[in-house]
Structure 1
Amino acid sequence: MEIEDKEHTMDVRATERHFWFGRWLSQEALEHELGTLEAHIADTLVQPFPLEALLAAAQQVADSLAQGSELYQRLAALAAHTNEPEEVAQLLQGAAQALQRDALLARLRAELGATHPASIERRYPARQFEAWLPVGCLVHVMPSNVFLVAALGLIEGLLAGNLNIVKLSARDSSFAAVFAEALCEADASGQLRNYIAVLRFPSSESATLEALFSHADTLSAWGGESAIAAIRRMAPQGIRVVTWGHKLSFGYLAADILADETTRSQALKAFSADVCRLDQQACSSPQTLFLECDPEALHAYADELAAHLAAISPTIPGQTPETAEQAEITTVTQVAKAEEALGLTRVIEDPEDRWRIYVDTRPGLRPSPLFRSIWVKRVDRGQLVKMLRPMRAWLQTCGLACGLGSLAELTRALFATGVTRVVRPGEMTDSYVGAPHDGVYALQQFTRRVTLDAPESAHDAGSLSQLETAARGAPPLVPIMTKQGFLEAAAPAGTPELIFRSGGSSGVTVFSTFTWADYHAQMQTAAHGLLAAGFDPQQDYAMNLFMAGNMYGSFISFWTILEKMGARVVPMAMVTDFAMIASTIAQLKVNTLIGSPSHLIALFEQEGQRLNGVVEKVFYGGEALTRAQRRRLQETFGVRTVRSVAYGSNDAGPIGYQCAHCTGGEHHLFESIQDMEIVALEEDAPVPAGETGRILLTTSASLRSHPSIVRYEIGDTGRWLEGPCACGRQDRRFELQGRSSDLFKAGGPFFNARRFSDILDSKLEYSGLSQLHVLEEGNNIILELWIHEGSGLSEDVVAQSIRRHYPEVEFCCTVSTTFHFRVKTVADVAFVRVAASGKLKPVCDHRIH
C-alpha cells in the first residue's frame, strides 16, 4: 500500500503543476481554487502562526538533506537540469545550514529583535503594546532557473508568519513545489500546509496573475528592471511591492595595501577567489576591481591578478556558459581588444578560456559578462563618491582591502555611494546569519509593526499571549528526566555563554547553561509575570535584595528583568547590615522590596519600625512564605502587597507567576515558555485535578536550545487548580505543595518538612523562621525543630502543638524508644543557609550515612 501511495504521489507531481495548500492541482483546478482563496486566507490569518511547527519541520528537512537521502536525490535531480552537480551539492548543503533551527531563530532575533516577534507585548515601561505581525498574504514572484531562491524565499515568508503563494516561471522545475511538500510532510501539527502554495505558470497568463495579485497584501518580486516594472503595473493600488533586482558589486584595493608586496599578493589572491566562486552569478560577486595606483602600475598589478587567477581557477568547479552568455563574453572581449589600439584597454586571457581580465584606463564601474570576467581600473579616492553615486540604485557589495588608517574614510565614502555591504576580499559571496539583504532586513519587509494602547483593564498585562488559550499537544513519549539526567544533558556543548549554579533547598550543586538569547527571552517573559504580580514599572522604586555572587542566578535575573521593565532599581543584594538597608530605603523612598523570605523577614523583624509607611510592596522568591508571615508584614509593618515575585529555578528558568487573585503557593504557568505535567508520586501517570503529584516541565525548544528540557522532574510537588481565574488570564493555574526533598525519614515513616511549617503557621501564628535537624545521639534519632528565639513561644508549647497536629510525630514519640522530638529556640544567625543562594535549608541531616 505504501508503494502504491508513493507511486501515486510521483504521478501527481508529474501531471499536476501546482502545490496548493497541501494538494497538487492542475491548471484548470487552480482557476476554480483562486475563487475560494480569500476565504482560506481569512480563516488562516486569524489563527496564531505555528512557529514551533515551522522550526521543527525545517529542522527535519535540513536533516534529511544529508547526501544520499531520498529527498536530497529528488531535489538534486530537479535542480540538475539547469546547474552543474557540484554547484547543486554546494547549494543544497547551504540550504540545510539555513534551515537549522538555531539559524532560523538567530534570523528572527537579528531582524525582528525577538524569538517570538509576533507576541503582542508591553513596550516597557509605558502602557502600550507592540509586535511584528505578518503582512498577511505574501505573493512571491520568483526568477526563473534560480532553484534555491524560491525555496528560501518561502522560508523567509513563513518565518515572518505569512500565508505564502510562490509564483514560478513555467520553465522552472518543480523543485520549490517538492520542497514545499516535504516541509508540509515534516510538520506533525498539520498546520503549515495552510500557509503554503507554489504555482507554475507563465507570466503571459495575465488574467491568472492579476487574480493572484488581487489577494496579495505584499508582493515580493525578483527580476530585472523590465520584469519589476511589469509587476508594479499589475499590482493592485496601495499594496507593498518589495523588489529584489539585479545588483552590481566590485573590489577595491587601497594604496596602503598595494604598496606592500605581501598584503598586495594576499588581496589579489582573495579577489581571484571571489571572481571564480559561483562564476560571478551572485549579485555580490565582483565585476570591476578598482586600484588606487598610477597608470604605470595598473598593468603590473593586473598581471599579478592574472597569475593568481591562473592558479585558483582550476581548483574551483565552474559551469559552461550557455550560447547567449558565451556570445556576450565574446563580444565584450573583442570590443576590448579593438580598443587596445587606442591605448584604452588591454585583455589578458586564459589560454583555455576559463577566465579573462579587461584592463581599462577609463574611470567608472562597468558590469562584466560574468563567468570569471573582471574589469581592472584605476580609481581616485577623492572622486569615488561622485563617480559611483549615479549607479547607487544598483550597487550592493564592495570587497575592501585597506589598512586601518584608511578604513573609516573609505567605508564612509563607500556607503555614501549607495553600497550596502563592505566585506573582506575573498568573502564577497559569503554572509552571516541575520545579515541584511540589499540594505534591508527581509523579515521586516514581510511584516508590519503594530501597536496597541490597551484599556485600563490591561494595566497589569505584559503580553496578550497570557489572555489566549495556549495550543497544547500530548506529552512527549519519553521517560522522565531526573536530576542526574539534567546534569548529563546540561554538560557544556562547546563554550556556554552563561552558566548558573544552583544550590537550592536540597543543597545539591547543579550547573545550568544558557545562551544569551535564551536567557533574555526568558527574562522578558518573567517581566510580564512581575507586572501581573502587581509591580508598576512607572511608579514603583525597587530594591533587589536577592543573593549575588557564587554563580547564583536570582540577583542577576532580577537585575535583567527590572532593566527590561525600565524600572528604577537599587541593587542592594542580600547583605546582613539591616540598619544600612533600612537607612537606604528610607533615604531613597524605596517602596518595593524583592528578595528571599528568610532575609526579608529578618529585615522587618529588626528594622520594621523604620520601614513602616515606606515599603508598600514585597515580592519574594526561592522559598515559601507562611500565612502568618504574610499577615505580619501587612498588619504590623503596613505592607500593602505581598506576593511571589516568580516561581522558577536555575535549571528550567521561569515557571510560574502570580496575579492579584493568587494566594500562597498558587501560580499561573508561563505557558509561552513551559509545558507542565503533574504526575503521581510513585508512578508516571497524570494525577486528577486537585491531587498532589510531581511537577514535570518541558521547556519550549525555541527558548532553551541547550540543554533540551523534556519532562524534567524539577523536584517540586503541586496540584492543578480548576476553573478560570478572576484576572482573565488563560494560563493554567497550579498550587505548589512543597519540595519533594521536603520528605525525609527519621527512624520511622516519612515526614514532610512543609507540614511542620504549616502547623506553626496555622495553629500558632508563628511568622518567624523554622528549620528541622536530624541528629544521632548514640542509638537514638533526634528530630529537632528550630524556631526563632524572639518569637515569644516556649519550646514546650510548640512541641505539644506539633505532636497534637502531626499524628506521625506523635506515633513515633509514643511507640519508638529510640525516636525523640524536641524544639529548640535559636538566634537568627544560627539557622543553616545554603551558601550559594542564601536560602534557608529546610532539613539538615547530621547523621553519618
Structure 2
Amino acid sequence: MDIVAHWVFGKPVEGQFELNQARALLAEARNRRKSLQEIPFVEIVECLHRVRGHLSQVERRRASVERIAAGSNFSTPMVDLAYGVLLDALDRSMLEAKVKEELGSLEVLDVPVHDRSRSQLLKASPLGVVLHLASGNVFLTAVLTLVEGLLTKNVNIIKMSSRERWFALEFARAVTACDPEGIVASSFAVLDLPGRDDTVLGEFYGGVDGVVVWGGEEVVKQLRGRLPVTCRAIEYGPKFSVAVVTSAAVKSYGAELLAEALAHSVAVWDQQACSSPQVLYTDLCEAELEAFLDHVCQTLDRLASTLPLGRRTLDELAEVTKERELAAFNAAIGTGGLRTSGSRQEWTIIVEEKPGFRLSPLNRTLLVSPLKTPEYLFEQLSAVCGHLQTIGLAASREERSRFLEIAELLGATRITSLEGMSGGVPGEPHDGVHALRRLVRWVSTEVGSDEAYYSPLETLSLPRLERLVLGRLRARVARAREGSDYYRERLDGIELRSLDDLASIPLLSPRDLPDLVPPRSRALFCSEPRDGYVFRSGGSSGRPKYSLYSLEDVAADMAAAARGPYALGLRPGRRVASMFSAGSLYGSFISSIKIAELLGCQVFPLTSHADTEMVLATLEAFSIDTVLGIPSTFLCLVREHGERFRSAGVKCFLYAGEHVFEEDRALLASYGIDDVLSFGYGTVDAGPLGYQCLHCRGSEHHLLVGHQHLELLGLDDDLPCPVGRAGRVVVTNLERALMPLLRYD
C-alpha cells in the first residue's frame, strides 16, 4: 500500500487518514481559531509574501515546475507559466488589493470599522473552520483556495485532488518555513483523502462552518444534501466560456492581433480552465473567416513549441479523434470545415455550418459557429444560462453595448477582451461573486453615544493593541528593507520580536530628510512615485523638505485624521468652510477638504486668501456653522467683523498650525463661537499624529493609535523618557508605503 502524506497544522503526517483523526483534527481546528483571529492581518500578508520569495528562488522554482509537470497532465512550460501566476498572486500588493476590493478595508479583519453613515461598526469575522474540496483540472486550485481561507483568518482543511498532491504539500512546507511564529502555518491542514471512502468527509461536513467545493455538477449536487443548515456551502461548479469576434472588430483591430489573442486563450491551461474559450461565435464571411483562421492556426502552431499541449489520456485522445472524423466527413459533404495540426493532435479547429451550442472535447479543440446578430447569440446559449462564465468579446464600439446586454441576460459573469479570458485582476469576482466575502460573516454593532466618538482601536485591550502595532511595525520594516535603498542596509539583520526591539533601528533626523528625497535623491522611496501629492515644509533648519505621498498614503492619512473632527461632532449635514492656506505646496487646505468630505459634510473651500466680503457673505448666505483654519487669520477676521460671524451662526472653529490662547477663546465666545478645538495635530513630513475629543483641554491630544507609533525619548539622550518628564517625540507612521519614516525624530 502506498504511504499517503498529509500536512496537519505545521507538521507532516503519514498513513491513511482515519475517522478518529478527523474528529481530533476538527477539535484542534476549533481551538486554533482564536490565535489566528488575533494575529494582525498584515502579518498574514507578510507571511504569504515571504512564501512568494521562498518559491521564487531559481533552483526551487525549476525543481518544483519539473516535479509538478511530471505528476500532472500539463507540459513543463505550461506549469511554469502557471507557477508565475501564483507568484504574482502572492505578492503583497496583489493580496492587499484583493482584500481592499472585496472587503473594503485592510483593517476590517482586525477591528470593527466605523460605518459613519449609519452610526455602526462593521467587522468581517471569519466563518471559523472551512473545508476546501479542490478540483483537479488546474493544479493551483488547492493553493489558491487555501490563500483565500488564510486571508480571511479561517482555519482551513484542504482535501487535495487525486490528480495533484505534491505541490499542495510543498506549499504547506513553504508556509511553515516562512512563518517564524508558526501561527499561520498551524492554522491549516492539507489532506489526501480517497474519493471512494467518504466516511472522513462526512465527519468534516458535520463539523465545519463552511465548505468550498470546486468540481463538476454531480459533486456539487451531492454536497448540497449533506451539509447542515449551519454550514455555508460555497460552490464553484462547472462553467464554460465562449469567444465572440465580429467582422467590424476585425476591420478595426486587425485579424492577426485578434487571432493571436484567441489562440493564446485556447492554449492556456489546454482549455481545462472554466475561462478557456470552447466555442467561437463569429459573423465573418467565408473569405474573412478563412483569413482569420489562418492566423489562429499559425499562432497555435507556434504555441505548440513554446507552450506545448500536455499529456492526454486515451479517452481524451479518442474523443478528439472522433470529433475530427465527424468534422472531416462534414467538410467532405460541404457542411463544415476542419483544420488540424496533423497526426500530433496539438490543436483542432472545427467549423460548423449548423448554428447551435455544444461543448468542445477540450485539449485545444475550438468549435466555430456562425453568428448573425447579438440576439442570435442569446438564442444559441439560452439553454445553458447559469453555466456560462466568460465571454471574450471582440466587437466594435457600436456593437459592444448590445452584446453586453445579451451577456447579462445569459448570466455570464465575466466579459473580457480575447486576451483577457485567461487572466484577471485582484478582487475580480469569481463566477459572479467575491470569494472573500463568502468566507466571512459581517458583524454589525450599534454604536452608543459615547463610543461614537472614538476609533475601535482605542477600545482594544493593551495586549491586543500592542500585538496589532507590533504586526504593523514588522510589516513597515520588512517593506522598507525590501524596497528602499536607504533602509536596505540600515535595517539589515533587524528583527522586531517585541516593541522594545524598535530601539535597534537608528533614528531618522529631519536634517537628513532633504538629502533622501527629490530633488536630491530617491533613496527613501519604496517604489517609483506614480500618483499622489507633493508637499513642502521649511522646518527649523530652513532647508526645504519635500514629502511625497501616494494616493494610497493620502487615503490612509485622511481616514486616520478624520477621527478628530468626527470625535468633535462633525457629521453629515454640517456646513463646513475651510480657510486654511492653499497653494505653494501646502497640505493643510487639501487635507481639510478631504476630511470634511469623508465625514459627509457640505464643504465650502474658501481658503485663507479669499476676499473678506465674499467670505462673510458666503458664511451668512449658507448659515455655515463650522470654520476650519489657522488661528491668526481667523482671529483677525473675527476682531473686525465679529457681528457678521454671529449673524451667520458660526458656532465652531477647528484650528491647526498655531495655539489658541485663553483670551482668544474669550473673544470668540463673545460672538457665539463656543466650540474652539484642534482640527488635528501633525506635521507635513510625518502626517497626522493626534486628535482632540470633547474632553481634551488646551494642547492635549490623543495619539492616532494604529496609524502612528510614538516614542518619547530624553532631551539629551536617545533613551526612553521617564514618566513625568518632558522629552522628544519620535514617530513611526504605520501605514505610509511610498516614503516610510521609521523612528522620525
CA distance in 2 between counterparts of 1:686 and 1:21 reads 40
Partner of 2:397: 404
Q: Does 1:559 align with 2:593?
A: yes
1:417 matched to 2:434: no
Which string of whole-angstrom CA distances, capped at 9 and with x for unpartnered residues, describes residues 206-260 of structure 1? 2321222223222111011111122222222243211112321122111213557
| TM alignment of 1:387-786, pairs within 5 A | 387-461=380-454, 463-469=455-461, 470=465, 471=467, 472-473=469-470, 474=499, 475-476=501-502, 477-483=504-510, 484-485=512-513, 487=517, 488-490=522-524, 493-503=527-537, 506=540, 508-532=543-567, 534-538=568-572, 540-575=574-609, 577-612=611-646, 614-634=649-669, 636-700=670-734, 703-713=735-745
TM-fit CA distance, 1:78 = 5.2
**TM-score, normalization: structure 2?**
0.86
C-alpha distance in 2 between matches for 1:622 and 1:331: 80
The aligned residue for residue 54 of structure 2 is 64
Rate the CA distance shift 1:431–1:332 in 2: closer, same or farther, 3 A.
same
Partner amino acid for 2:739? P
Paired with 1:311 and 1:175, the residues of 2 have a C-alpha distance of: 29
Change (3 A) 1:223 1:567: same
Partner amino acid, structure 2, of 1:443? L
1:600 positional shift: 2.5
- The CA deviation string for residues 402-445 of structure 1, in whole angstroms up to 9 with x for no partner, is 22222222222223222222222233212222222222221222
- Give, in angstroms, the shift of residue 154 of structure 1: 1.3
Q: CA deviation at 1:107?
A: 1.1
CA deviation after TM superposition for structure 1 residue 710, in Å: 1.9
Matching residue within 326, 333, 338 for 1:335: 326
Determine if the alignment matches structure 1 residue 106 to structure 2 residue 97.
Answer: yes
> Counterparts of 1:92 and 1:649 in 2: how far apart (Å)?
44
Q: Report if the CA contact (8 A) 1:137-1:162 is conserved.
A: yes
Unaligned segments of structure 1, at least 5 residues? 1-13, 714-849
Q: Is the 8 A contact 1:578 1:607 kept in 2?
A: no
Measured in 1, the distance between the counterparts of 2:294 and 2:162 equals: 45
C-alpha offsets along residues 801-848 of structure 1, whole Å, 9 cap, x if unaligned?
xxxxxxxxxxxxxxxxxxxxxxxxxxxxxxxxxxxxxxxxxxxxxxxx
Q: Is the 8 A contact 1:499 1:511 kept in 2?
A: no
Match of residue 161 from structure 1 = 153
Shift of 1:307: 4.2
In 2, Cα distance between equivalents of 1:499 and 1:566: 23
Query: Does the CA-based 8 Å contact 2:278-2:367 persist in structure 1?
Result: yes
Length, aligned pairs only: 693
Cα 1:687–1:571 change in 2 (3 A) is same
Bigger shift: residues 550-559 or 143-152: 143-152
Separation (CA, whole Å) in 1 of partners of 2:320 and 2:219? 24
Q: What is the one-letter code of the residue matched to 1:559?
A: I
Partners of 2:127 and 2:209 within 8 A in 1: yes
Where does residue 278 of structure 2 map in the other structure?
287
> 1:24 maps to what in 2?
12
CA contact (8 A) 2:581 2:588 kept: yes
* Pairwise CA distance, 1:58: 1.6
Aligned in 2, Cα 1:32/1:265: closer, same or farther, shift over 3 Å? closer
* 3-state secondary structure, aligned to 1:502: strand
SS state at 2:682 partner: strand
Deviation at 1:69, TM superposition (A): 5.2
Decide which of 107, 111, 119 is 1:116's aligned counterpart: 107
Mapped to 2, the partners of 1:394 and 1:308 lie a distance apart of 29
**Structure 1's 35 and 390: CA in aligned 2 closer, same or farther, altered over 3 A?**
closer
C-alpha deviation, 1:625, in angstroms: 3.0
Alpha carbons 2:574, 2:601 under 8 Å: kept:
yes
Conservation of the 8 A alpha-carbon contact between 2:30 and 2:128: no
Aligned twin of 1:93 = 84
Q: How far did 1:296 drift?
A: 7.4
In structure 2, C-alpha distance between the alignment counterparts of 1:155 and 1:591, rounded to whole Å: 49
Task: Give the letter for the 2:565 counterpart.
Answer: L
CA distance in 1: counterparts of 2:75 and 2:289, whole angstroms = 35
- Alpha-carbon distance in 1 for matches of 2:137, 2:282: 35
Structure 2 residue matching 1:86: 3-state secondary structure: helix
Q: Residue type matched to 1:55 in 2? A: V
* Counterparts of 1:248 and 1:425, CA distance in 2: 15
Separation in structure 1 between the aligned mates of residue 385 and residue 698 of structure 2, nearest angstrom: 64
Say if 1:395 and 1:419, in contact at 8 Å, map to a contact too: yes
Matching residue of 1:773: none
Cα 1:317–1:303 change in 2 (3 A) is closer
C-alpha change, 1:171 and 1:399, in structure 2 (3 Å) is closer
1:374 CA displacement: 0.9
Asked whether the 8 Å contact 1:242–1:445 carries over to 2, the reply is yes
Alignment partners' CA distance in 2, 1:152 and 1:410? 32
1:92–1:297 Cα change, 3 Å = closer
Structure 1 residues 137 and 526, CA, compared in 2 at 3 Å: closer, same or farther? farther
Given that 1:79 and 1:173 are in contact with CA atoms closer than 8 Å, whether structure 2 keeps it comes out as no
In structure 1, which of residues 265, 271, 274 is the aligned counterpart of residue 256 of structure 2?
265
Distance 2:62 2:529 in 1: 32
> What is the root-mean-square deviation of aligned Cα atoms in Å?
2.8
TM-score (norm 1): 0.76
Deviation at 1:195, TM superposition (A): 3.2
- Seen in structure 2, the aligned counterparts of structure 1 residues 676 and 19 have a Cα distance that, compared at 3 Å, is farther
Whether 1:354 aligns to 2:381 is no
- After superposition, the Cα gap between the structure-2 partners of 1:496 and 1:129, relative to the gap in structure 1 and judged at 3 Å, is same
- In structure 2, give the amino acid aligned to 1:393: G
- 1:709 corresponds to which letter in structure 2? L
Bigger radius of gyration = 1
Deviation at 1:40, TM superposition (A): 0.9
- What's the CA shift for 1:281? 2.2
Q: Distance in 2 between matches of 1:353 and 1:539?
A: 68
Relative contact order (C-alpha < 8 Å, sep 6+): which is higher? Answer: 2
In structure 2, the residue matched to 1:764 is none
Aligned AA for 2:606? M
**Alignment partners' CA distance in 1, 2:674 and 2:441:** 41
Residues 717-739 of structure 1, C-alpha deviations (whole Å, 9 max, x = no match): xxxxxxxxxxxxxxxxxxxxxxx
Partners of 1:711 and 1:188 lie apart in 2 by 25
CA distance in 2, matches of 1:670, 1:690: 21
Q: 1:281, 1:371 within 8 Å by CA — same for their partners in 2?
A: yes
Q: SS where residue 623 of structure 1 aligns?
A: coil
CA distance in 2, matches of 1:222, 1:697: 47
CA contact (8 A) 2:215 2:237 kept: yes
Q: Given the alignment of the two structures, is residue 54 of structure 1 paired with residue 61 of structure 2, yes or no? A: no
Aligned-pair distance for 1:347? 2.2
Change (3 A) 1:468 1:172: same
Q: After superposing the two structures, state which structure 1 stretch, 581-590 or 383-392, moved more.
A: 581-590
Verify the 8 A CA contact 2:176 2:185 in the aligned structure 1: yes
Secondary structure of the residue aligned to 2:701 is: strand
For residues 78 and 690 of structure 1, what CA distance do their matches in structure 2 show?
Answer: 63
Q: Distance in 2 between matches of 1:39 and 1:304?
A: 56
Q: Which moved more, 1:95-104 or 1:293-302?
A: 293-302
Distance 1:389 1:186, change over 3 A: same
| Cα offset, 1:53, TM superposition | 0.5
Counterpart among 336, 350, 362 of residue 370 in structure 1:
362
Secondary structure in 1 matching 2:254: helix
| Letter aligned with residue 287 of structure 1 | Q
Change (3 A) 1:664 1:398: same
Equivalent pair of 1:490/1:511 in contact (CA under 8 Å): no
Residue 196 of structure 1 aligns with an amino acid whose one-letter code is F
**Identical-pair percentage:** 29
Which runs of structure 2 are paired with 1:159-308 in the superposition (5 Å)? 159-169=151-161, 172-258=164-250, 263-294=254-285, 301-303=292-294, 305-308=296-299
